[in-house]
Amino acid sequence: MATQFTSGASGSSDSKLKTFFIDALQDIYWAEKKLVKTLPKLQEAATSSQLKTAFSNHLEQTKTHVTRLEKVFDLIGEPANTKKCHAMAGIADEGNDLIDETEEGTAQRDVGLIFAGQKAEHYEIATYGGLKQLAKTLGYNEVAETLDQTLSEEKEADGLLTQIAESGVNYEASTEPQEA
């Protein structure tokens, strides 16, 4: 029979779960720092002023996420180190390719940028959701609350991108003629 833990149960301070938790924190820390470098490129490439503003606002929020992660490392007594996040590296590369492969000033490019942004948001939502649960299991209640705050902001950012797509960008792209 599997052992069940209640929310807030304190695990061993040097358990395999804590090692996994720290590794995942280092991964998302790298990812957030990568986004701080990537979001200005997405903002510059966007055509819609609404999308440009969304990327600009999320850049400021992402800088806050980096600071929060540094607080999380401090709370658990670990150095704030990064570990390359191959998933976010791939998403960022895909976003750069999309910019190179679409025509400047088109709604088609904005649709692609929204896709790239949502791929990043969904990765972050999955990661922060998992980290929040692990923090609870390890008894890091303040850490769980901090991660939950970021999780909520990532969900809001994803919702805003959906709203921008549905409010006209997708339709505009559907009316753009195909290149000869």
pLDDT 10s digits, 152-167: 999 999 999 999 999 9
Report d(CA 39, CA 74) in Å as an integer: 26
Read off the amino acid at residue 62. T
Q: What's the gap between Cα 123 and its chain centre?
A: 6
- Average pLDDT estimate for 21-40: 97
Report d(CA 117, CA 114) in Å as an integer: 5
CB 137 within 8 A of CB 18: no
Q: Flag whether pLDDT at 13 surpasses 70.
A: no
Per-residue model confidence as pLDDT tens digits over 47-93: 999 999 999 999 999 999 999 999 999 999 999 999 999 999 999 99
Read off the amino acid at residue 23. D
More confident residue, 137 or 178: 137
- pTM for the model stands at 0.90
Torsion of CA 99, 47, 118, 37, to 10 degrees: 60
- Average pLDDT estimate for 27-44: 97
All structural domains of the chain with their residue ranges: 16-172
CB 75 within 8 A of CB 144: no
More confident residue, 5 or 117: 117
Report d(CA 170, CA 180) in Å as an integer: 21
Distances (CA, A) of 85 to 8, 19, 109, 112: 28, 16, 25, 22
| CATH 1.20.1260.10, applies to 16-172 | yes
CB 78 within 8 A of CB 22: yes
- Average pLDDT estimate for 100-118: 95
CB 128 within 8 A of CB 61: no
180 Cβ contact list (under 8 Å, min separation 6): none
